[in-house]
Amino acid sequence: MKKLMTFIILMILSVLLLGCQKETDVLTIMVPSGSPALAQLYLQQNVEQYRVDVVNGADALLYAFGSESHDVIFAPTNLGAKLYQSGMNYLFAGTVVWGNYYLIAKNQSTFDIASLEGKNVVVFGQNQTSDIILRYLLNELNVSVTITYVDSVATASAMFMADNDLIVMVAEPSLSAVSSKVSNVQIIDLQTTYQSVTGSDSYPQAGVFVNKSLDQKLVNNFLSDLGDSVELVNQDPHAASLIAVELEYAFSQSVIASAIPFSHLEFVSANDSKVALEAYFNMIQDFNSALIGGSLPNDDFYYQP
């Protein structure tokens, strides 16, 4: 009887340990809604390995970095750099979004950057990436505008829907959502403008950050899966959009399918992103160094597989 009881206890302990091991192998991920969320759709679908929280706004990201509530955080690259400089325990592991900002209008006789001179532009995210990119380009091209700031891209989009005479900054998938409801929307692609001004293809807008304490093998597997997810999303936007609908994303299937090609999703590792990232950070430093923590992060900022 003693041997039997010992055997039963050992079996129970083994089951419990295996259960704990399985739980620790589940990576917790926080990702902001929009293009970063689209990049990881196939990870979110894989509930056995990944638990994903999709959030709105920067406050949730700031809390996650500070509390270390999630193993992996998708965030604007400059925000991740700023928090790293302040001592947060996350490393930059790669870029996933290479610019997806657009200006929209309707009924403008001419709609390009030069035509914005003296006009009012509605912009979301003061001192965030959207604001940085637009003000940098306007400054480089000597165009003066009045900026009205709003809290989110959703607010900016709603304002344009209510008043088509406004000039508004949006991002995907909001651009596709607006275009599906308003005919003949005029669009300025800020990525194209950035390329003409800087000579760089685009800017590393959003990246993925991993907690320093994570097992390297676990991180490397995650990054491989993320790369596969981005590739699958780009290869078949229709199939990806169906997954997004199943996961109860806020946009319709047709809007998401339309948005994916213009979201500029590409996973590029930390090392391979470094040149573009430092060029982007140097631009931000000249603009407002506080937005990256006062200086460029050192080499320890980059995750080494």
Share of the chain above pLDDT 90, in %: 83
Residue 23 is inside which H or E element, if any? helix 2-24
Bond from prior residue into 173 cis (ω within 30 degrees of 0) = yes
Residue 66 is inside which H or E element, if any? helix 58-67
The maximal CA–CA distance of the chain, rounded, in angstroms, is 91
Return the DSSP state at 302.
B
Give the separation between CA 256 and CA 245, rounded to whole angstroms: 9
Mean pLDDT in residue range 58-82: 95
The predicted structure's pLDDT at residue 33: 92
CB atoms within 10 A of CB 247: 13
The predicted structure's pLDDT at residue 173: 94
Q: Which domains does the chain have, with CATH numbers?
A: 19-98+203-301 (3.40.190.10), 101-198 (3.40.190.10)
pLDDT band at 10 (very low <50, low <70, confident <90, very high): very low
For 242-264, the DSSP string reads HHHHHTT-SS-HHHHHHHGGGS-
Contact 25, 2 (CB under 8 A): no
Share of the chain above pLDDT 70, in %: 92
Give the separation between CA 191 and CA 102, rounded to whole angstroms: 8
239-275 per-position pLDDT tens digit: 999 999 999 998 999 999 999 999 999 999 999 999 9
Q: 289 is written with which tokens?
A: 């160094």
Contact 173, 34 (CB under 8 A): yes
Give the separation between CA 234 and CA 249, rounded to whole angstroms: 18
Mean pLDDT in residue range 102-108: 96
186-216 per-position pLDDT tens digit: 999 999 999 999 888 889 999 999 999 999 9
pLDDT band at 24 (very low <50, low <70, confident <90, very high): low
Residue whose pair of structure tokens reads 């500070």 in the numeric block = 66
Phi-psi region of 199 (alpha: psi -120 to 50; beta: other; left: phi over 0): left
Which has the closest alpha carbon to 189: 175, 173, 177? 175
- For residue 91, pLDDT beyond 80: yes
Mean pLDDT in residue range 8-28: 50
Q: 35 is written with which tokens?
A: 């293009």
Contact 95, 267 (CB under 8 A): yes
Residues 6+ apart with CB under 8 A from 192: none
